[in-house]
Chains A and B, each alone.
Chain A
Amino acid sequence: AQSVTQPDIHITVSEGASLELRCNYSYGATPYLFWYVQSPGQGLQLLLKYFSGDTLVQGIKGFEAEFKRSQSSFNLRKPSVHWSDAAEYFCAVGKSNFGNEKLTFGTGTRLTIIP
């Protein structure tokens, strides 16, 4: 069964600083990988996705993520965070076979931005 680990429960960064949120997955085949963001009281918004091809993927709001098969990782990065980036970030993995694409989520990383 697939699983996702987000080792950092809570991260605090200064506004303007760079950010990296870690995600490790476990899945036997090539996974589909996603990062979602959840602002307080809101639903889940897709930031970016990886299906195949270029291992560095660009998303919305200036985020990017790199798929590293050898490390089973899909870390999320942003060169300069803004106060509005404060939210909960979830990494998710989907199966690549046809018919059942349930997403398995990590436990999330809460991002706090300080001035």
Chain B
Amino acid sequence: EPEVTQTPSHQVTQMGQEVILRCVPISNHLYFYWYRQILGQKVEFLVSFYNNEISEKSEIFDDQFSVERPDGSNFTLKIRSTKLEDSAMYFCASSPSPRGREQYFGPGTRLTVT
């Protein structure tokens, strides 16, 4: 069964460094999402992406964040200058369409900012 994959599974970085989290969505899906989950808290929406542009972004998704689909298979989340409070599990999700279709989540990347 096709699944969303994410790399790396765990990333440790120093405050102020740039990180890129990578995702490979399910191949025939068209809509892509990033969510994050701070330890012990709920899963929060960051951004949705369709047709090579951002559809919606949350208040969390400020200028330090960017997303890109550099080729036909990868979907990346970049954090330009990481802060301690960026430490969280980051989930990528994809969906064949937004109307009434479930989102399939990857296993997540745990980002630790020291």
Contact = CB atoms under 8 A, between A and B. Distances in A.
Contacts of A90: 42-43
Given A43-B91, A90-B42, A102 B56 contact: yes
Interface residues of B, number: 27
A103 B55 contact: no
Contacts of B25: none
Given A100-B56, A102-B58, A105-B43, 16 more contacts: A32-B100, A36-B105, A42-B107, A43-B106, A43-B107, A46-B103, A46-B104, A90-B42, A96-B100, A98-B98, A101-B101, A101-B103, A103-B43, A105-B42, A105-B44, A107-B42
Interface in B45-71: 45, 48, 50, 55-56, 58
B41 interface: yes
B100 A51 contact: yes
A107 B41 contact: yes
Contact of B55 (A52, A92, A100, A107): A100
B32 to A, nearest CB: 11
29 contacts: A32-B100, A34-B102, A42-B107, A43-B105, A43-B107, A43-B108, A44-B43, A44-B91, A46-B103, A46-B105, A49-B102, A90-B42, A90-B43, A96-B99, A98-B98, A99-B50, A99-B55, A100-B48, A100-B55, A100-B98, A101-B48, A101-B98, A101-B99, A101-B101, A102-B56, A103-B33, A103-B35, A103-B45, A105-B43
